[in-house]
Amino acid sequence: MNLVSVLVLAGIIIAVFAFFYKLYEILWDAVKIPLKKPRMKLDLGRRIYILIRNVFLQGKLFKDPFAGIMHALMFWGFIVFGAYSIDFFYVTIFAHQLFSPGILSDIIFFTVNIFAGIVIADVIYAAVRRWGLKIKRYQGFNGFEAAFILVLIGLLMFTYLVMSVLDMQGLLGGYTFVVRSGAPHYLEPISYALTYVIPKAPSSYVYYIFWSAFWIHALDFMVFLIYIPRSKHLHLFAAPFNVLFSTGTQATPLPIDFEKETRFGATDIRDFTWKDYFDFYSCTECGRCTDNCPANMTGKTLSPRDIIWDIRETVMAQGKEYRKNRENPDEVFKTVIGDPILEKDLWSCTTCMACVEQCPVMIDHVPKIIDMRRSLVLNQGKAPKESLDLFRNIESYASPYAIDPSTRGDWAENLDVVDLSKNPDANYDVLYWVGCVASYDRRNQDIAKSVTKILKKAGVNFAILGSMEKCTGDPARRTGNEYLADMMIRQNVETFKEKKIHKVITACPHCFNSLKNEYKEYGVELEVYHHSEYINRLISDKKISVKALTSDSSEKYTYHDSCYLGRYNKIYDAPREIIGSFTENFQEMEKNKSKALCCGAGGGRLWMQETEGTMVSHKRIEMADKINASTVVTACPYCMTMLDDARKTTNREDKMNIQDLSEVIAKRLE
């Protein structure tokens, strides 16, 4: 071993140690801080699939195509460069190559050379996006960290190319050990191309140029290793694991055992799970979440990215403190609500899941926000004034409205509908779960009536629960009042069991999501259909026929995706197929399907006032207006309420209609 080998070996040992030491500290936090348990299933098939799709193929990144391609190339470049770097250090230390010449070595050197060029271009592009184009979602990002990492990556590639070009120009002489000396030119196409651009250096400089490049390259790599876990680039290590560990049930908040637990929801960093810690470690402040957040888009200060980042910083700081002071956990762990996370931001969330949908590393922002709402409501009794009324009404009247619950089925009077609260022994095949909004709200009662008309026309033998139906608990759950939600769910589950109900159809995506995905944990398995799925099948099975729109009609339809139907349950096609069954006069709005903009009503926001910034629903109506839609079709009573209001308050009544899927079909039944 010569001096260079010894120095490089010592350097790399220090860097690797520093890398793993920080990882140890981080993982120590996740293990030693008394955390909550996540909902985990083995679920191997899904895990392998998402690992391949979202890590190796970088699947979720392409939702933002320009940044996505850039990042994917950088990522793949990293992997091949990793292989190259192992070889680089191996050959430096042990003086012979790890990958002896052959096909594997050829492939590595070829791809490394190609990617060196691509990554340098990438680095420049990334810098232009941040400091040149000033793309909005990077606002508030950590500029130093971003710049530093780009310089490190750039230098690593640059120094590699310097050495490679020197070699190709035949100048390297005795220092050829670090490159694939004498390789055919076609194996190093970028370097070969560069030899035409870069003149040969005078031989007296070669020594200095080479050793500068060599040491910069070696040190760059070591700094990189030390720096990664100590910066936001920890995501390089954490994100693949975060994807692998993703629960797949992030839309459902964790259950609470009120008999056993004494503190509820998330108040300080002890109240998260180790999976949440991976979320925090995986965040690299890319800002896709905040960029797609409806609250943030309409001038509210809520930023899902900042929420994740603020907790991460708190975990880092308080974790460090806890490692020193393990005797007094209550002194170390202080609440994150209020400072740094504002209470009002927690209440601005519509739980639309746009942030979760967009996040490339599968961070679950929404359940954390709900958990912090729970902390406020269940531990401190803090909630916006309007939601106190909401809670009171659900408790007293089993619905968000202060209306006599015995009148719940009154909308169906004279419609000849089987009401199980009046006729308990009736025979029926399907239960139509009406939901509170369609039961009590005048505008939305038309949805209930239209669904009834369609089901009757198709000859479906259905019944409603009438006054036995109660709020599913969703508004309470999403506003953090799990105690009340728990009570409502148990009461409904009791009814389902007592009435032996299995098959349910509902026109409310919020009820749909609760009944389909969340009631399982309470011991009732239901076969639940949203009316969009059900009506679509009635049409394709020819149980109903729908009058086509005349070709000279000037009507133009668009469809507004409901969050709880779309992102929560991946139902995007059925509603569009229903509209397609009678017309081709259809155009998508900006932001549709998985990228759809919320109406502003989810997460209990339907019952709260929206005073900060502008209204989300107004923004959505403007998008519909931009494509001159004459009818906006919705599939959710919440969306109906918000958009119908927005249509009126923005003076678009004359040119635009809001109609539920069931209404457009009921009107066109033949």
CA–CA separation, 255 and 269 (whole Å): 18
Interface residue with another protein, options 128, 184, 653, 667 (CB under 8 A): 653
Burial pattern 617-640, b for ≥16 Cβ within 10 A else e, equals: bbbbbebbbeeebebbbbbbbbbb
Q: Is 446 in the site for another protein (CB under 8 A)?
A: no
The two three-digit tokens of residue 424, written as one number:
């308990």
Q: Is 630 in the site for another protein (CB under 8 A)?
A: no
Binding region for another protein (CB under 8 A) out of 36-44, 156-164, 388-396, 488-496 = 388-396
Decide whether 119 or 646 has the Cβ nearer to another protein: 646
Q: Is 413 in the site for another protein (CB under 8 A)?
A: no
**Residues with Cβ within 8 Å of residue 108, at least 6 apart in sequence:** 80, 83, 84, 87, 99
Cis peptide before 304 (omega within 30 of 0): no
Q: Is 607 in the site for another protein (CB under 8 A)?
A: no
Q: Is 547 in the site for another protein (CB under 8 A)?
A: no
Main-chain dihedrals φ then ψ at residue 501, nearest 5 degrees: -90, 135
Q: Is 204 in the site for another protein (CB under 8 A)?
A: no
Q: Is 645 in the site for another protein (CB under 8 A)?
A: yes
Interface residue with another protein, options 221, 277, 280, 391 (CB under 8 A): 391
Rounded to the nearest whole angstrom, what is the least distance from the CB of residue 468 to another protein in the complex? 16
Q: Is 491 in the site for another protein (CB under 8 A)?
A: no
CA–CA separation, 491 and 518 (whole Å): 14
Q: Is 380 in the site for another protein (CB under 8 A)?
A: yes
In the region spanning residues 240 to 299, those forming contacts with another protein, defined by CB under 8 A, are 258, 262, 264
Contact, 560 vs 536, CB < 8 A? Answer: no
Binding region for another protein (CB under 8 A) out of 65-73, 377-385, 432-440, 660-668 = 377-385
Interface residue with another protein, options 45, 381, 541, 542 (CB under 8 A): 381
Q: Is 335 in the site for another protein (CB under 8 A)?
A: no
Binding region for another protein (CB under 8 A) out of 90-98, 167-175, 517-525, 641-649 = 641-649
Residue 170: count of CB within 10 angstroms of its CB: 12
In the region spanning residues 33 to 92, those forming contacts with another protein, defined by CB under 8 A, are none
**Residues with Cβ within 8 Å of residue 228, at least 6 apart in sequence:** 19, 234, 236, 237
Decide whether 327 or 654 has the Cβ nearer to another protein: 654
CA–CA separation, 582 and 284 (whole Å): 46
SS3 530: strand
Q: DSSP class of residue 225?
A: H
Q: How far is CA 603 from CA 384, 486, 593, in A?
A: 13, 16, 19
Rounded to the nearest whole angstrom, what is the least distance from the CB of residue 657 to another protein in the complex? 12
- The alpha carbon torsion through 472, 474, 477, 480 (nearest 10 deg) reads -140
Decide whether 554 or 651 has the Cβ nearer to another protein: 651
Decide whether 306 or 486 has the Cβ nearer to another protein: 486
Interface residue with another protein, options 383, 420, 476, 664 (CB under 8 A): 383
Count Cβ atoms within 10 A of the Cβ of residue 222 and give its class: 0-12 exposed, 13-18 middle, 19 or more buried: buried
Q: Is 403 in the site for another protein (CB under 8 A)?
A: yes
Q: Which of 509, 561, 59, 563 is nearest to 355 (CA)?
A: 563
Main-chain dihedrals φ then ψ at residue 506, nearest 5 degrees: -145, 150
Q: Is 371 in the site for another protein (CB under 8 A)?
A: no
Q: Is 378 in the site for another protein (CB under 8 A)?
A: yes
Rounded to the nearest whole angstrom, what is the least distance from the CB of residue 442 to another protein in the complex? 5
Q: DSSP class of residue 56?
A: I
Using CB under 8 A as the binding criterion, the count of chain residues that bind another protein stands at: 28
Q: Is 404 in the site for another protein (CB under 8 A)?
A: yes
Interface residue with another protein, options 301, 396, 461, 628 (CB under 8 A): 396
Rounded to the nearest whole angstrom, what is the least distance from the CB of residue 336 to another protein in the complex? 19
Rounded to the nearest whole angstrom, what is the least distance from the CB of residue 131 to another protein in the complex? 42
Helix axes 274-282, 3-32, angle to 10 degrees: 130
Binding region for another protein (CB under 8 A) out of 90-98, 389-397, 508-516, 577-585 = 389-397
Q: Which of 133, 23, 636, 36 is nearest to 350 (CA)?
A: 636
Q: Is 397 in the site for another protein (CB under 8 A)?
A: yes
Binding region for another protein (CB under 8 A) out of 45-53, 66-74, 77-85, 386-394 = 386-394
Q: Which of 61, 30, 28 is nearest to 245 (CA)?
A: 30
Decide whether 406 or 553 has the Cβ nearer to another protein: 406
Residues that bind another protein (CB under 8 A): 258, 262, 264, 377-383, 385, 388-389, 391, 396-397, 402-406, 442, 483, 609, 645, 648-649, 653
